Amino acid sequence: MTEVAVKNSRIGEVLDKLGIAHVNKGTAVGVNFIASEGADFISSYSPVDGELIAKVSVTTKEEFEQVVSSANEAFKDWKKVPSPLRGEVVRQLGMKLREVKAELGMLVSYEMGKSYQEGLGEVQEMIDICDFAVGLSRQMYGSTMHSERPEHRMYDQYHPLGVVGIISAFNFPTAVWAWNAAIALVAGDTVIWKPSEKAPLCGVASQKILADVLAENGYSSAVTNLVTGDYKIGELMTSDKRIPLVSATGSIRMGRIVGQAVAARFGKSLLELGGNNAIIITADADLELALKTAVFGAVGTAGQRCTSTRRLIIHESIFDKVTEKLKSIYSNIKIGDPLDENNHMGPLIDTLAVDTYLSAIEKAKEEGGKMLVEGVKLSNEGMESGCYVSPSIAEVKNHYEIVQNETFAPLLYIMKYNTLTEAIDLQNGVVQGLSSAIMTTNLREAELFLSQQGSDCGIANVNVGTSGAEIGGAFGGEKETGGGRESGSDAWKLYMRRQTNTINYGLGSPLAQGIKFDI
């Protein structure tokens, strides 16, 4: 980037391959990156080594106005493009992502701190949602229905909604944008994206890739747009009536603010908020599978997924056995540079996250929790400037205040249960309702967990962990997780407006409900 020389030569090559080595502007109207005189800058530091990667300009109010106006103008033409042709653009985006998968995955890993394998997995999610959206571009069906009136036909159909605003979080700095953008684009919407201020370069890179694809196909540059900054830019998006849908991923606190602001202007919001996800391990579980699943869920991405496993609810008959095995596995977790594929866990996103994690450990102990494995801040060779911690396991009670809240870190709470009904009550006994799982080989236990008497979460799995999402299934949660759904099933309907149509092809004008009105 022009604002700083990147010391990590690998990342310098990555930025060059992605075409952003000389871009330090964080506002983009399609392919055109812009920055006002005297603009403020976001400094992007890598949690891997504490190095400043680059500085990216913050969007001003004037630039924001330009972006929204341009996106609305572009919508007038983009919505007229047949959906299969819009799908062709998204198909080409998927192909371009395949070409730069290694480089974009490495940037995700270095800027955010997740392992390189997870960085590659994130780009693969982007590719997968493009494939899903391409098929969807020919399948956005309405329904026909019989009218009660003779010689009438009724049906419903879906039309493009307008400008879709996307506010994404640092933990998935590219994939969540793609979840929304790919579907919004085939639906005929234009897009404005505010990436996390903690990972702005991933936003710049992804914006450039998509904007270049659109430009190569001769479409308006303002079909996809980028704004950068902190919550103040988010507030501009949520309060703007020209943005009919705001899709926001983040904390419950943030979601309340966004939801209220958008609702106040009768806009639509798609909220993907916090998780407090639990795995029930029954006496009939395959323990090897259960342990592997639980550990990845707890320490993958250093516990910084909304679907990370926060709680293990273990049958009392196997509790001691499971905890001993967990402690043994945790002693062998390799922590370090996430670009080194021998490591299981990279750093937390920043020093604030480290402090929050350590405070949560102390809070758990104060409330009566027993630390089976107590995490600490690491300062080994190569970690001095990073945000590395070791993971923790705490035996707790579900009602503890700290357990009821989401800690975005590798802090795993464990607790006992006696009956499956008790376990399900514990699983459901939090305000969040994102992801859940049961590990069992007992068919009755599995079916009960999936029944109306079971998990109250948006995602409920059997012998599959809480962490991660597969494109095609609707992703999202209930209760204070926000109720949103993305990346699969009929989530596309959220990006469109629904219209009911009635056609009278007869000579008379009968009224519904048999009402008589003769003149």
Virtual torsion, Cα 246, 115, 414, 292, nearest 10 deg = 120
**Catalytic pick among 306, 387, 406, 480:** 306
Is 306 one of the catalytic residues? yes
φ, ψ for residue 372 (rounded to 5)?
-85, -35
Q: Name the token pair of 387.
A: 């945000």
Chain position carrying tokens 């099933």: 489
- Give CA separation, 236 vs 231, 257, 426, in Å: 9, 12, 39
With H, G, I as helix, E, B as strand and everything else as coil, classify residue 417: strand
Amino acid at 315: H
Q: What gap in Å lies between CA 448 and CA 455, rounded to an integer?
A: 9
Write the DSSP string, 66-103. Answer: HHHHHHHHHHHHHTTS-HHHHHHHHHHHHHHHHHTHHH
Specify whether the backbone of 487 is left (phi greater than 0), alpha (psi in -120 to 50) or beta.
Answer: left
Q: Smallest Cα–Cα separation from 495: which of 155, 90, 16?
A: 90
**Token representation of residue 458:** 């948006």
- The yes-or-no answer on residue 37 being catalytic is no
Q: Around Cβ 495, how many Cβ atoms within 10 Å?
A: 28
Q: Where are the beta strands (DSSP E) in 426-487?
A: 432-433, 435-439, 459-462, 478-479
Asked if 390 and 420 count as a contact pair (C-beta separation under 8 A), the reply is no
Edge-to-edge order in the sheet of strand 309-315: 370-373, 392-395, 411-417, 309-315, 277-281, 435-439, 459-462
| Beta strands per DSSP E along 227-382 | 245-249, 268-272, 277-281, 309-315, 370-373
In whole angstroms, what is the distance from residue 361 CA to residue 269 CA?
34
CA distance 306 to 276: 8
SS3 167: strand
If you compute the radius of gyration of the chain from its CA atoms, what whole number of angstroms results?
24
Q: DSSP 3-state assignment of 487?
A: coil
Question: Which residue is catalytic, options 103, 122, 272, 486?
Answer: 272
Rounded distance between C-alpha atoms, residue 88 and residue 40, angstroms: 37
Q: What residues are annotated to the active site?
A: 272, 306
